[in-house]
Amino acid sequence: MSHFDEMTVLLHLDGQLDAEQERDFPNHLSSCEACRNLLQVLQKENIWLQQAFSSDEESLPARLREVPGQTETAFPWGWAVGLALAATGIYTLWSGIVDPWLTQASEAGFNQGNVLTMLFFSGAFWGGWDAMQSMIEFLSMASVAIAVLWLLRRRWKRFTVAAALLVASLGMLTLSPAARASDVYHGDPNYTLETGQEVHTDLVVMAQHTRIDGDVDGDLIAFSRSITVNGHVKGDVLAFGQDVRVNGPVDGNIRAFAQSLELNGVVGKNVMAWARELDMDEKTRVGGTMTLGSADAQLDGQVGGDLLALTETIDLNGTLGGNADIRGQRLRIGPNADIKGQIKYRGGRQPVIATGAKLASPVGVLSRGRPRPNYASPGFYWRQILSWAAALLFGILLFMLAPMFFNEVETAADSKFGVSLGLGLLFLVATPVAAIIACFTIIGLGVGITTFLLYLIALYATQTFIGEWVGQKMLGAGAGSGAVFARLALGLGVLHLLRMIPFAGRLIGFVVVLWGLGALVLAIHRRLRPLLTTAAV
């Protein structure tokens, strides 16, 4: 047999010969010294080349010791865009929403310390679900909370979302009015402040049934199934209960969250109430404004300021010093009504006005239901842009707070579309129900409110997860903050555009919420699973 050529030996060394060619090798090599030598020397040459190529006299140049993409200089556009958007977002939030909102709130008699109540009544509940989308003031709170948590994260190496949620819940609980109290009573099971007794500080009561016959020098804060106030309260009344009855004079504001609320006395400042049924007796006098969210409201008394009401049915049969803004299904104006301002009414049925009623001007009836988006108005697009900027800011903060978790939610959204939708629907319905049920027990109230707030944050966050997903489909999956911000910006932009489509836009918005919420639940479940199994063992 003739000698192997260099090519064949080389291919043999690299394992590239087929079985038939390979078979001849051992026999020939054992008998042919020349080929053996060639094989050896080529083998040596391989090693010689490998050594020459990988040995290193040069160290890594200094300019390569800086990690690219980690410093600002390497990826300036990502940060520049991110910071500019964040600044725009913060400016927008402050000048457009937070500032006027705070002004409004202080007009309505809130001091800034009472943020939770303010959020609870004027934010989440007052506007109802329809207003949620435009509820950017809520977003500002969430964003600030997230920014604070993000700052904490730097000190806290092993920071997880679970811990964040825990901190948030604890924060909400400590924020609750009870923590600021000077006098706290746990009724056993009932609490009564007898006639003639006087409490000289704020009074906080948690009991089955609460009865205040004596006087309270400061605020009265009560968590109770039934609350009756007959005495004189010189501060505010903050009542959470099933049946709330206020007969005695209150010098400050009344804020109540109740199933039924009865007002029979004199209120110095404002009333803000979220109650299924509201009954205001003709003897009642409210010095300031009245803000209501209720199913059934009967107003026979006197209100000095404006009336703002979101109710199913409302009967106006008293004196109103200011204007009224009413949204509801049915408005009746009784014969004793004396309305000195204007009435704006947006509702299902035409208002019914009794013959004896005195109105300063005719009732302004606005178009039924929500106004359609006005596509011709530039303001509409400006609001869309603001909404986009706010969502982007929120998404960026969320991403900075928990990048891993953000990624996990997105993975869940990507891989489990159907499951996400189903879970999303389940949790969309079940969470508020659970939160409301929790609110009915005294201890559960904090948990209920916290759950509800987290739920709202989660609903808002869904668009950022899905927006990121959309961005990823369009721009590809690059790592790094700059790429994530760009994806978020684009994805959220696309979602906003889609939501502007008449009719179909709402459906798309709904699917985004379901899908994102489901993915979020899946990701949380995956995070908690190891914890749960450890706990079970």
Partner 1 sequence: MDGRTTSAAMNDAELAEVLSRVRAGDANAWGELYRRYAPAIFRFCRRALPTREDAEDATTEVFMKVRQKLGTFDSSRPFSSWLYKVASNHCWDLLRRRRIRQDLETEDAEALPLEHPQPSQLERLQAEHANKEVREALAKLPDRARMALVLRYYTEMSYDEIADALGVRRAFVGVLLLRARHQLRDILRQGGAEVALAAGGK
Q: Which residues bind partner 1 (CB under 8 A)?
A: 5-7, 10-11, 14, 16, 34, 37-38, 40-42, 44-46, 48-58, 60-61, 63-64, 67-70, 74, 399, 403-404, 406-407, 472, 476-481, 483-484
CA angle 144, 429, 142 (to 5 degrees): 0
CB of 530 to partner 1, least distance (A): 15
Three-state secondary-structure class, residue 291: strand
Start-to-end C-alpha separation, the chain: 73
CB of 438 to partner 1, least distance (A): 33
Sign, CA torsion 90/95/101/102:
positive
Q: Is the CB of 8 or the CB of 190 nearer to partner 1?
A: 8
Q: Is the CB of 332 or the CB of 526 nearer to partner 1?
A: 526
Closest CA to 230 of 257, 243, 211, 252: 211
Q: Is the CB of 151 or the CB of 404 nearer to partner 1?
A: 404
CB of 46 to partner 1, least distance (A): 7
CB of 90 to partner 1, least distance (A): 22
Q: Is the CB of 166 or the CB of 477 nearer to partner 1?
A: 477
CB of 146 to partner 1, least distance (A): 16
Closest CA to 291 of 336, 255, 258, 250: 255
Q: How many Cβ atoms sit within 10 Å of the Cβ of residue 52?
A: 8
Q: Is the CB of 38 or the CB of 456 nearer to partner 1?
A: 38
Whether cis (ω within 30° of 0) applies to the bond prior to 189 is yes
Strand boundaries in 248-363, DSSP class E: 254-263, 266-267, 271-280, 285-286, 290-299, 302-303, 307-316, 319-320, 324-333, 338-339, 343-347, 352-353, 358-359
Tokens for 117? 């109540």
Residue burial 303-315, b: 16+ Cβ < 10 Å; e: rest: bbbbbbbbbebbb
Q: Is the CB of 69 or the CB of 348 nearer to partner 1?
A: 69
CB of 154 to partner 1, least distance (A): 12
Q: Is the CB of 69 or the CB of 100 nearer to partner 1?
A: 69
Q: Is the CB of 48 or the CB of 381 nearer to partner 1?
A: 48
CB of 479 to partner 1, least distance (A): 5
CB of 416 to partner 1, least distance (A): 18
Q: Whose structure tokens read 């026979």?
A: 300
Phi, psi of 216 (to 5 degrees): -120, 125
